[in-house]
Each structure stands twice: as structure tokens, then as C-alpha cells.
Amino acid sequence: GDAEAMEALSLPRAGRRAALSASLPLLQPTTASSGSVWGCIQGVRGAYYIAEGLGPDRAAARSRLYSLNCLDWSLLTPATKEMLALAEQLQGRFQGDPSFEYDLAEVNAEASIVSPQPVMKEEARLIATIEQIDKEVGIVPRGAFVKTPLGSVHENRHFEGLSLAEAKKLSSYFHFTKPVNLKNKTLLEKADLDPSIDFLDSLEHDIPRGSWSIQLEKGGTVVVLRSLLWLGLTFYHVPMTKQFGYVYFGTGEKNLDLPFML
Amino acid sequence: RGVPGPGRTPGSLRALTPGCAAGRAGAWPPAVRIQPLRCSPPSGTPHQPPPAGPAPWDSQQIRRGSEQPHQDPQQAQDQRESAGQTRVRGQAPGQSQSPAQHLGHPRRAAQAAEQLQVPQLNLSPPVRHRGQGTHGPYQPHEPGYGLDQPEFSPYEDEIPDPKARMLAIQNAKAYLLKTSTKSGLNLYDHLARVITKILDEQPENTADIIENISKDVKWAQFRKKMDTLRDEHLILPTYEAAEKCKALFVKDSGEEEEEIVGPPPLPNVMETAFYFEQAGIGLNKDESYCIFLSLKNLVNVQPILTCRFWGKILGLEMNYIIAETQVREVEDQEGGETGHEREEIYEEGEREMDEGEEEGEEKEKRDEPPKSTYKPPPEIPREENGAGTNKYVYFVCNEPGKPWVKLPPVTPAQIVCARKIKKFFTGRLDAPVVSFPPFPGNEANYLRAQIARISAGTHVSPTGFYQFANEDEEEEEGDAYEENPDFEPPPVAEMLESLAAWAHHVKIILKQGRCVWINPQKSDENAEEEEEEEEEKDEEGEGQQEETGPPLLTLISEDAGIKSIPAWTAQASTNLIPEYCIAILQSNRWPGAYAFASGRKFDNIYFGWGHKYSPENHSPALPPPAQAEYPIGSEITETVDPTVEEEMAFKAAQEEALAGDDEEEGEEDEGDDE
């Protein structure tokens, strides 16, 4: 799984990969499960390597950790709404220094948000960006997760992978976040849905249209989806198997020019 | 195991484990008394004829399939009686294997037994009434169940009314075999398959996942039917791709070992990939190797002098793999010819326009719409092949294994336009580029323009590796560089510390879109025929300044950063092993451009979407202002409309003048008359 992912994307360098495999299992006490790589956000002077720990209930908040050298990990506290709003206003690259402070004076002048602090730390921007990326472009294949009647979300042990025909369609992939469009579906559409599997928004109606690029690589054995909104988010899935996942290798900036580029 | 397939005999019903009492479908007519299963009835009693047939079914509210969904013991009794009349003694095949229906409620059984005062006692099993002095009737759960009936021994499985029972069984089975109108399945087969699957796989907590198993069986059922179709479908895409890939690995038997003059044209892609992998950049080994092989094919097919893997540009539908090559001079001449042709065509076009104007003057009598006096700005000729932006020839393919396509040379207009637009590549070279300002060309041209920009901006080498061929030459002519044989590679630490250790070895592209500035007016002088325009243009020509840029082999430390971000980020491949680490440069202006250096080895590569980084959002160029309708001069000027007062005053003045004239005329007339 992870190996496939690394093959299809740009890899962390050999030294880093070895360090990752050495240090990720050590995260178990913190995250209640062995950490898995979320991705890497490249700053100007250094890169942040992000890992996350997944609990049995996937709908619960995930614990995230970051590291500058793949060895020492620091836990990130979940982002507050203020942090999310402020981070959206910030533009430009990450610096690579977690204690770097962004000056919010300009931002506040433009927007009407009044923030209590005059500065925002890069760490806060980091967690806000990660959550934003997950919320906007974190995807899973259809059927990989089931929702129990009690509301918790579990892995579907019966998931055997999408078929090749399904894998090429955008409607077979869901955003792994609170659904927004589900309620707006017509009754006719809802009738075809299976409430235990179809409880998330699919990618079909993402705006703008065409903000995902689907490709078959390695001779058609791996389907790779790349997000054009957050350049660097890559999702892979091997059809007819249980392997899937996504990683982010990029600069942590949203591609706001997307409508011009399509 | 002895579990038959979807058999058609009642014997197959034995496959149902005796343990399941509930959930058993059945249209067992209550009038039929079913013999309990011989194998381990859970109640512990061996087979007995349940004295009361209907009770267990009633309690479970079994549908009869067609009629009477709910049974009352009364009704059951009536039916039983009626059925009993037609009962015939005798053996019926397989009746002894009927599933146990006796697991109903003992109390009901007892009740029914009481009610059952069957007149035809000789046919129906004799039922002992309570209190007859015997120690029965035993309840089904009691060990002595059935023993109190004299006619039946514990080992006898016969049921006295086989025909009715058989009829009932057949009814039940017919119901189960009824095909669903929606899916074509029938319950009988489905259940048999489900049970088979369960017994085959023996999962844990079967009762909890029984619905899922049922669903899976149904799904598998449909899958199997379409098996042949789907197999064929699956083979095609991967098969073709694999075929192409395999073709790469086949060595031509007719290949001759040609004498290669000079260094081998084929680059060592795997070596470069190895170094970049240290940096954490690159494709996986398989893909690198396939690219290696396809480059070999390219070198064999085209007359190539040098070749280099330039990089990979991602696209929406497909990606591009790009090779940078220098081809032998045969190609250059062809390219030169087309360039000259283009200039000639342009000149002819101008002459046509002039002729058109002359014709217009002749046809003054006809009212024709005014001809446009718009002259497009002169086209800047593109650079010759082998110089400037067209120094290298680029070949692209979508995937290793697919044929290589040569990209056309780039023109300055394309570069200028490419700077203003930002579009994703689709992966198809003939796709149009819809943008404003309109891009002069299709995706192949856009790709070529971006490649030229990226090369000019990010191709670097360690300082001193290249030197000018002739140090005496002026900077402008410094297009030729060669390797410096005396180059001493600085240690890696120095490469990382200061960016002055790296230098560009590709000439920068000026604003004009060329590497070497050209005065666009010179090419037009031949075509000018009207003197006025010549004069005007000469004036403009003086106004245009010659554009210059940093010379070749500039140190990259002089690259301007973007706001507060430096243009380049330098990193070592590993901090832990300084002896063997290599220096890596990452471009911040063109995200995705990397360079590495290790001793005498260095290389550049690009993996990305093909766009420049801009901290501000991209805003497309605004449309130009509307063209002036007429030249403002003495003949035509624009003034403000007169106001009403002015008009009235003017009118009044006119009337006065007229009145004055009339009086004068009147006087003259009078004068004449006299």
C-alpha cells in the first residue's frame, strides 16, 4: 500500500524513508495506533513531515503529528475555527520554521476579521492547512467505509476494491468529511443509495468541474487521482484490491488560480 | 458432508442444520405432520410423530405462501381433518428426512393434541388423551416423547399420510423455487448457496453477518453470469499497455554496432535517477528504466547528437515525458528554410495590403466601408535552430513505449503569450489552448514555450564547470560554452552554503521572447513603400531600446527572489553521512525544478505541472482599449454638443441675419422697380 503510493509519487529521500519506518511505530502510545504518513509540506527553509494516527472510529478527530527530520514528532492540537479562518487569509509559502510568526496586521486590514493576537504562528497555520486539505480533498473509494446505525464509521472488511470500470469514474470516490451535498439530492437519487456506504459526498459535483485528474498508471494497474485545487495531493488505489490511500507532497498552498487554468 | 447442490429432492433440505428453528421459510401446511429430523434433534428426543402438527407452525406465523397467512389452531384442525381424510398410509419417499417441525411450542402441541379428536382414528396417529392412565402424553421436549403412542416405535420414521405430506412439500418447494421477477433468483437456490458458502467458509459469528453473506452470494451470482464478458474487458487496457512496455525490452536483431563518434548520445538515466533518489525526487525505478529504454529507441531512430532526460510534466489526462536533444545538422537546414519562408510570406502579406489600398483609391466612386488602417505590430522572427531558445530540440511522449513526437521550435510570440497565461496541460499535443491573450498555437507550442522558460530559468551547473569558448568574445556572443577541463569540484558543503557556487548555463529569455535582442523594424524596411509610414517607423525605431539581460553563466546568487522567498533552496541529501551526501537545489520560482551536484556529476530535472510560482493570484490580461475610430486632427474633432441656450441663440442670430437680408433684397427690388 504505502510502497505503491511512494512509487507513484515523489518519494521522500531514502534516508527519510528509513527514518520514517523507524520512528512511526514509536508513535503508538500517542496515537493509539501506529502512525501513518500523511504527507510533507515543503517550506522555504525546511520541510514538515506529517503523520497521523487513526483510531477505530474514523469519524472521530484524528491526531496529527509533525516532524522536521522524521525522527522527533510533535503533536498538533486540533485547529480552532479562528485558526482556520485566519489561515485562509494567509498567503505565501511556509517558511520551514514552526515558531515563525506571520504578521496579521495586513490581513486584518483587508478582511474584517478581528483577531485577538497580532501574529499567527506557523505551527497554527500548519495544522489549519492540514485540516483544510483533509476537509477539501481528502478522499476514499466508495465502499471502503461503512457507517453503523450508531453513527460511528468503521472500515468495511468486506471492501474488495473498486472494479476497473468504477475506478475511472469520479462518482466512485467520496470526500472523507462531513457531507454537504447529501441532503440536496433528489429522492430519486437517494433511492439508489445505500445508507451504510453512501453517507459521504462524491467527487462528481465538485466545483469547479474538472478539478480532479484521474489517470491510470503502471499499465493500468494503479489509478491515481490528483487534486488540482491543492496541487500535490495524490490519491492512489489498486483496483480489485483493498489498497488505497492519499498523501500530500506540496507547498501547502491552495491553487486559487484553478478556474483560469482549466 | 453430503450436502447436495441445489437439488430438487426434499432430501436436500437436510442441509439446513437442525439448529435453526426460527427463520425457516415454509409453507408447511399445518395439516401435515412432519417427522422430526433423525439427526440430533435438539430437544434430545428421537423422532416422534408430533401429535400436533399445526402448533409449531402456528406459533411461528408461517405463511402458506398463497393463502392463509395466519393460522388458528381451529382452522388448522379443520384442515387437518380434511386432509386426514385423504391420507393414505404408505411409504412416501424421503419423508423421514423432513426437518423437524416439532420444535414448536410444546404447550401448543399439547393443546392441539387435546383438541384433536380425530374421528378417523385409524388413519391418524392415535393420540393419547391426558389422564388416560398412561404417563403421557409426553411433551416434545421430554425424553419419552412419542413413546406413549403404541403404534409408533422410536425408530420408525414413517408418516402415515405421505401423500398429503408430499403435496405439502411440493407446494412448499414450488413456492421456494418461485423465481423473483426482479432478479431471476429463487429463494431455494439462494438459501442452498448461502448455506453451502457458510459451511465451506465457516466464518465466525455467522448469525451476525448472515445478511452480508447473503448479499455476497447474490452479488457473486450475478458476477458469475457475466464472467466471460468481464474477462475480456479487463484484459484490454492493461494488456495493451503491457504489450507496449514489453516492446521496449525487445532488442532489434538487425541492430548494428555503429561507430559512435564522440561521447555516447544516450544518457545514463539510471545513474541520474539514483542521484535524484537521494534527494527524494524522481520516479520509481521501473519507470526510470522504461524511460531509459524508450530514450534508447529515440536515439536509434532520430539522428541525435546528445540526449538528456529533461523531466516529466503532469497533465490532466496524460503526462508528458520530455527528452532534450541536439540533432544533427540535417534537421537544422530544414528548420532554417521554414523560417525564411515565413518571413517571405509575411512580406508578401504586406505587399498585398498595399495593393489593396491602391485599389481602394481607384474605386472612390463606390461607397465602400473604410479600410482598416490597423497594422499589426511586426512579428519578431524566431531564433534559428541551434541558437538561443531553440538551441535544443525536444521530444515528448506520453508514456514510455509510446512513440516520441518532436516539438516544433518556439517563437518569441509564443513565449510572450505563455508568460501571460496559466493553463493546465491536458496531455494531448493537439489540444487547443483557450486563453486570453489568445495563444498562437496549440498545446504542443505551449508545452514547448514552457519548456523553454523552465530551461532558461532553472538549468544550473556548478560554477566553473562551463566556461566561455572564447574568452575574448563579447558577452553578447557568449552563447557558446564548453566544459572547463580544469574544473575542480568544490566540496559539497560549499555548494550548499552559497548560491554563488552554481551558475546558469542557459541564456535567459528577454522580454521580447528571444535570447538575443533583435530590432523588429529592420525586417520591415524592405516591405515599406509609403514614405510617410517609413518616417513614422523610423521615429519609433529610435524609441525602442535594446533589451539586455544577464549574460550566460551568471551565478544564481544574483537571481531575484520572490518577495521574501529566495529563488533557490539548497539542501543536502542527508545530514547524517556528510562524506557521501550530495548537494541539491530546489527552485522556488519554478516549483518542481531540481538540480543536484556531486563532484563532477550534476544534472537538472523537472517534475511538476509546468507553471511558474507566483505569490499573487493570477489575473488574466485585460482586453486592450477599444481602437480609435478616427484620427483626431484638424479635419475631425470631437466637441461637446451645444446646449439648448446656445442653439436658441444661434437660431435667433440666424433669423436676424435672414431678416436683414430680406430687407435688403426688398429695398433692392424696390430700387429696381423704380
CA-CA distance, A17 to A23, in Å (whole number)? Answer: 10
Give yes or no: residues A165 and A194 share one domain.
yes
Residue whose C-alpha cell reads 483557450 in the numeric block: B434
Partner-chain contact B316 A213, CB within 8 Å: yes
CA-CA distance, A13 to A17, in Å (whole number)? Answer: 6
Please name every residue paired with B583 in a beta bridge, in sequence order, or none if there are none: B572, B597
Which pLDDT tens digit goes with each residue over B320-379? 999 998 887 664 444 444 444 444 444 444 444 444 444 444 545 577 777 777 777 778
CA-CA distance, B454 to B442, in Å (whole number)? Answer: 19
Specify the pLDDT at position B600. 81
Sorted by sequence, the CB contacts under 8 Å of residue B250 that are 6+ apart come out as none
DSSP state of B604: E
Report how far Cα B300 is from the mean position of its chain's Cα atoms: 33
Are the C-beta atoms of residues B391 and B505 closer than 8 Å to each other?
no
Which cell goes with B137?
402424553
Q: Quick count: other Cβ atoms within 10 Å of Cβ A199? A: 17
CA-CA distance, A91 to B156, in Å (whole number)? Answer: 89
For B67-118, give the secondary structure using H, E and C: CCCCCCHHHHHHHHHHHHHCCCCCCCCCHHHCCCCCCCCHHHHHHHHHHCCC
Pairing mode, strands B568-572 and A74-76 = unpaired
Count of domains in chain A? 3
CA-CA distance, B196 to B200, in Å (whole number)? Answer: 6
CA-CA distance, B353 to B112, in Å (whole number)? Answer: 113
Partner-chain contact B422 A213, CB within 8 Å: no
Instruction: Please name which of B249, B325, B242 lies closest in space to residue B294, comparing C-alpha atoms.
Output: B249
Partner-chain contact B317 A213, CB within 8 Å: yes
Which cell goes with B645?
441656450
CA-CA distance, B374 to B359, in Å (whole number)? Answer: 17
Report how far Cα A201 is from the mean position of its chain's Cα atoms: 15
Domain boundary among A115, A137, A159: A137
CA-CA distance, A190 to A182, in Å (whole number)? Answer: 8
Partner-chain contact B615 A91, CB within 8 Å: yes
Longest dimension (CA), chain B: 174
Instruction: Please name which of B299, B298, B248 lies closest in space to residue B404, comparing C-alpha atoms.
Output: B298
Give yes or no: residues A117 and A16 share one domain.
no
A251 chain-B contacts, CB cut-off 8 A: 591
A260 chain-B contacts, CB cut-off 8 A: 421-423, 618, 620
Partner-chain contact A260 B620, CB within 8 Å: yes
Pairing mode, strands B502-504 and B460-462 = antiparallel
- Say how many Å lie between the first and final Cα of chain A, rounded: 31
| Interface probe with A: pick from B278, B320, B424, most Cβ of A within 10 Å | B424
Are the C-beta atoms of residues A2 and A212 closer than 8 Å to each other?
no
Which cell goes with A93?
509559502
**Does A120 have pLDDT greater than 70?**
yes
Specify the pLDDT at position B75. 45
pLDDT band for position A210 (cuts 50, 70, 90): confident
Give yes or no: residues A197 and A241 share one domain.
yes
Regarding an ipTM greater than 0.90, the answer is no
Domain boundary among A137, A157, A177: A137
Give yes or no: residues A257 and A146 share one domain.
yes
Which pLDDT tens digit goes with each residue over B274-295? 888 777 777 777 888 888 888 8
Respond yes or no on whether the N-terminal peptide bond of residue A56 is cis (omega within 30° of 0).
no
Are the C-beta atoms of residues A15 and B574 closer than 8 Å to each other?
yes
Residue among B286, B574, B611 whose CB faces A15 most closely: B574
Give yes or no: residues A103 and A211 share one domain.
no
B284 chain-A contacts, CB cut-off 8 A: 6-8, 11
Are the C-beta atoms of residues B137 and B148 closer than 8 Å to each other?
yes
**Does B40 have pLDDT greater than 60?**
no
Q: Average pLDDT over chain A, rounded to whole?
A: 81
**What are the φ and ψ backbone dihedral angles of A172, each rounded to 5 degrees?**
-90, 5
CA-CA distance, B574 to B583, in Å (whole number)? Answer: 9
- Would you tell me which residues 97-116 of chain B have a C-beta closer than 8 angstroms to some C-beta of chain A? none
Specify the pLDDT at position B446. 93
Give yes or no: residues A187 and A125 share one domain.
no
**Does B190 have pLDDT greater than 60?**
yes
Give yes or no: residues A83 and A184 share one domain.
no
Specify the pLDDT at position B62. 42
CA-CA distance, B539 to B490, in Å (whole number)? Answer: 52
Q: Is the pTM of this model over 0.80?
A: no
Instruction: Please name which of B451, B465, B329 lies closest in space to residue B394, comparing C-alpha atoms.
Output: B451
How close A214 comes to chain B (CA, Å)? 7
| Interface probe with A: pick from B281, B284, B399, most Cβ of A within 10 Å | B284
Residue of B nearest to A227 (CA): B316
Give yes or no: residues A144 and A122 share one domain.
no
Respond yes or no on whether the N-terminal peptide bond of residue B615 is cis (omega within 30° of 0).
no
**Does B271 have pLDDT greater than 90?**
no
CA triple B344-B346-B349, angle to 5 deg: 110
Specify the pLDDT at position B485. 76
Share of chain B above pLDDT 70, in %: 58
Residue of B nearest to A45 (CA): B569
Helix (H) or strand (E) holding B576: none
Which pLDDT tens digit goes with each residue over B409-451? 988 889 999 998 999 999 899 999 988 888 988 999 999 999 9
A259 chain-B contacts, CB cut-off 8 A: none
Q: Is B284 on the interface with A (CB under 8 A)?
A: yes
Are the C-beta atoms of residues B377 and B520 closer than 8 Å to each other?
yes
For chain A, give the secondary structure using H, E and C: CHHHHHHHCCCCCHHHHHHHHHHHHHHHHHHCCCCEEEEEEECCCCEEEEEEECCCCCCCCCEEEEECCCCCCEEECCCCHHHHHHHHHCCCCCCCCCCCEEECHHHHHHCCCCCCCCEEEHHHHHHHHHHHHHHHHCEEECCCEEECCCCCEEECCCCCCCCHHHHCCHHHEEECCCCCCHHHCCHHHHHCCCCCCCCCCEHHHCCCCCCEEEEEECCCCEEEEEECCCCCEEEEECCCCCCEEEEEEECCCCCCCHHHHC
Specify the pLDDT at position B457. 87
What is the three-class DSSP state of B557? helix
CA-CA distance, B165 to B31, in Å (whole number)? Answer: 8
Specify the pLDDT at position B425. 92
pLDDT band for position B20 (cuts 50, 70, 90): very low
Give yes or no: residues A148 and A228 share one domain.
yes
Cα dist. B310→A20, A42, B274, B556, B595 in Å? 30, 23, 15, 20, 11
Partner-chain contact A164 B615, CB within 8 Å: no
Partner-chain contact B237 A216, CB within 8 Å: yes
Which pLDDT tens digit goes with each residue over B547-576? 666 777 777 777 777 777 888 888 877 767
Beta-carbon pairs below 8 A across chains A and B: 89
Report how far Cα B545 is from the mean position of its chain's Cα atoms: 48
Give yes or no: residues A144 and A257 share one domain.
yes
Residue among B278, B563, B609 whose CB faces A13 most closely: B278
Question: For residue A122, what are the domain limits?
Answer: 77-137
Give yes or no: residues A175 and A189 share one domain.
yes
Specify the pLDDT at position B150. 59
Domain boundary among A76, A107, A123: A76
Instruction: Please name which of B79, B98, B89 lies closest in space to residue B35, comparing C-alpha atoms.
Output: B98
DSSP state of B466: E
Q: Average pLDDT over chain B, rounded to whole?
A: 68
Residue among B278, B422, B607 whose CB faces A10 most closely: B607
Respond yes or no on whether the N-terminal peptide bond of residue B137 is cis (omega within 30° of 0).
yes
Partner-chain contact B237 A45, CB within 8 Å: no
pLDDT band for position B396 (cuts 50, 70, 90): very high
**Does B63 have pLDDT greater than 70?**
no
**Does B93 have pLDDT greater than 60?**
no
Sorted by sequence, the CB contacts under 8 Å of residue B516 that are 6+ apart come out as B383, B387, B388, B476, B479
Give yes or no: residues A211 and A145 share one domain.
yes
Q: Give the range among A54-68, B256-270, B452-466 with minimum mean pLDDT.
A: B256-270
CA-CA distance, B240 to B364, in Å (whole number)? Answer: 68
Which of A211-220, A242-251, B342-351 is most confident? A242-251
CA-CA distance, B281 to B496, in Å (whole number)? Answer: 18
Partner-chain contact B281 A10, CB within 8 Å: yes
CA-CA distance, A132 to B663, in Å (whole number)? Answer: 92
Which pLDDT tens digit goes with each residue over B97-128? 444 444 444 444 444 444 444 444 444 444 54
Q: Is B319 on the interface with A (CB under 8 A)?
A: yes
